């Protein structure tokens, strides 16, 4: 029983489901009627949706277009990753059409017709796009965080991240800009956007992609919650003792040789939380105002006294 639970991570699939639903709200409720096209397969599907005079549902098109990309991702990223990807983009496609009422028998939903969405469309378009970007980036970030993708350029971004170490958000940003440009040409050709110039909508799309990409990276990497410090001082022992005694943090002495003065000495290395950083600086300055200190961001700390990220 334990092995079965371990091999089927229920929490991962639950969070992927939540992420797919959040993304679908951003796309289906906010972006499609706003005519602001995100990148990826979603952007291509929205362009085709407009080309067919909105006869083909966006979610259905996303699912169809994702199949060949999914097969490529399955080959490059493995079966386990592929199962999660299929699960995620299928749910995302379903939720988009579900929330928009495009699924036969479920046309009562149509969340895009709510008074709040219409108010934002007419009087606060910028905030509407910002909310959509937050939903898009937040949902996609959750999916990536739990080892899934929604297909399309998400798969391409994951492959680039695996093979070349390119940050997921940056990879998405590069590929999506091309698709947005194409979608802008479709909007201009079909004269879809009646109340706003096509170029304005393209600028909004670029803003949308940038904000959502940053949110993806934020969710994956998390907020910095700790700082590491290298301390060079003639009073290393006193500083190390104060760190251990006053902050209840560990400190490591690293034997080094300063090339400028050709002097061997210990460099103190320690890691503290953001709340403790000010106290650490005060301790160092009180003991040795001439100490040389470098402080660095820390995304993850595994060890006693620090919480682990999910």
How confident is the model at residue 265, as a pLDDT?
Answer: 86
Higher pLDDT: 237 or 145? It is 237
Q: For the residues 5-17, what does the mean pLDDT come to?
A: 76
The reply to whether 308 falls in a domain is: no
pLDDT at 78 over 70: no
Token pair belonging to 72: 């490529």
Q: Is residue 99 a contact partner of residue 114, using CB atoms and an 8 Å limit?
A: no
DSSP 81: H
265 and 187, same structural domain?
A: no
247 and 215, same structural domain?
A: no
The reply to whether 271 falls in a domain is: yes
DSSP 228: E
pLDDT at 7 over 60: no
How confident is the model at residue 8, as a pLDDT?
Answer: 52
pLDDT band at 290 (very low <50, low <70, confident <90, very high): very high
Number of domains in the chain: 2
Q: Among 71-85, 89-103, 115-129, which is the least confidently predicted range? A: 71-85
pLDDT band at 54 (very low <50, low <70, confident <90, very high): confident
pLDDT band at 27 (very low <50, low <70, confident <90, very high): very high
72 and 58, same structural domain?
A: yes
163 and 189, same structural domain?
A: yes
CA 16 to chain CA centroid, Å, is 13
Residue 246: which domain range? 226-298
Q: For the residues 59-81, what does the mean pLDDT come to?
A: 82
Global pTM reads: 0.71
The reply to whether 131 falls in a domain is: yes
pLDDT band at 307 (very low <50, low <70, confident <90, very high): low
**φ/ψ of residue 225, rounded to 5:** -120, 5
| Nearest CA among 182, 185, 184, 179 for reference residue 39 | 179
pLDDT band at 6 (very low <50, low <70, confident <90, very high): very low
pLDDT at 246 over 80: yes
How confident is the model at residue 287, as a pLDDT?
Answer: 95
Average pLDDT of every residue of the chain? 84
CB atoms within 10 A of CB 212: 27
Residues forming a β-bridge with 294: 230
pLDDT band at 2 (very low <50, low <70, confident <90, very high): very low
262 and 176, same structural domain?
A: no
* Cα separation, 59 vs 24, whole angstroms: 9
55 and 173, same structural domain?
A: yes
Question: Which segments of 101-152 does DSSP mark as H helices, in order?
Answer: 115-123, 125-145
pLDDT band at 4 (very low <50, low <70, confident <90, very high): very low
Q: Is residue 47 a contact partner of residue 61, using CB atoms and an 8 Å limit?
A: no
Q: Among 24-28, 114-118, 202-206, 222-226, which is the least confidently predicted range? A: 222-226
pLDDT band at 3 (very low <50, low <70, confident <90, very high): very low
Q: For the residues 173-192, what does the mean pLDDT come to?
A: 77
79 and 95, same structural domain?
A: yes
Token pair belonging to 159: 């492959």
Q: Which long-range contacts (CB under 8 A, 24 or more apart) does 47-55 make?
A: 47/182, 47/183, 47/186, 47/187, 50/186, 50/187, 50/190, 50/192, 51/186, 51/190
CB atoms within 10 A of CB 101: 18
């Amino acid at each position: 029983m334990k092995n079965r639970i371990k091999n089927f991570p229920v929490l991962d699939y639950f969070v992927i489901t939540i992420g797919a639903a959040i993304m679908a709200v951003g796309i289906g409720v906010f972006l499609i009627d706003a005519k602001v096209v995100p990148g990826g397969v979603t952007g291509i599907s929205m362009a085709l949706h407009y080309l067919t005079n909105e006869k083909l549902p966006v979610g259905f098109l996303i699912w169809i277009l994702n199949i060949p990309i999914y097969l490529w991702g399955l080959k490059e990223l493995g079966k386990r990753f592929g199962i999660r990807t299929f699960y995620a983009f299928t749910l995302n496609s379903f939720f988009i059409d579900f929330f928009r009422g495009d699924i036969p028998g479920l046309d009562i939903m149509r969340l895009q017709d709510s008074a709040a969405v219409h108010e934002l469309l007419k009087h606060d378009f910028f905030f509407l796009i910002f909310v959509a970007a937050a939903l898009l980036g937040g949902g996609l970030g959750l999916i990536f965080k739990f080892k899934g993708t929604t297909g399309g350029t998400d798969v391409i971004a994951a492959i680039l991240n695996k093979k070349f170490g390119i940050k997921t958000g940056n990879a998405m940003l590069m590929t999506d800009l091309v698709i947005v440009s194409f979608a802008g040409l479709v909007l201009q050709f079909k004269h879809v956007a009646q109340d706003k110039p096509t170029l304005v909508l393209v600028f909004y799309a670029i803003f949308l992609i940038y904000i959502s990409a940053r949110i993806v990276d934020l969710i994956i990497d998390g907020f910095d919650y700790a700082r590491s410090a290298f301390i060079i001082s003639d009073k290393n022992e006193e500083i190390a003792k104060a760190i251990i005694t006053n902050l209840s943090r560990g400190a490591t002495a690293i034997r080094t040789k300063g090339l400028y003065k050709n002097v061997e000495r210990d460099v103190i290395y320690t890691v503290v939380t953001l709340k403790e950083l000010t106290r650490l600086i005060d301790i160092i300055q009180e003991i040795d105002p001439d100490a040389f200190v470098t402080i660095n961001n820390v995304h993850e700390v595994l060890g006693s006294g620090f919480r682990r990220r999910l």
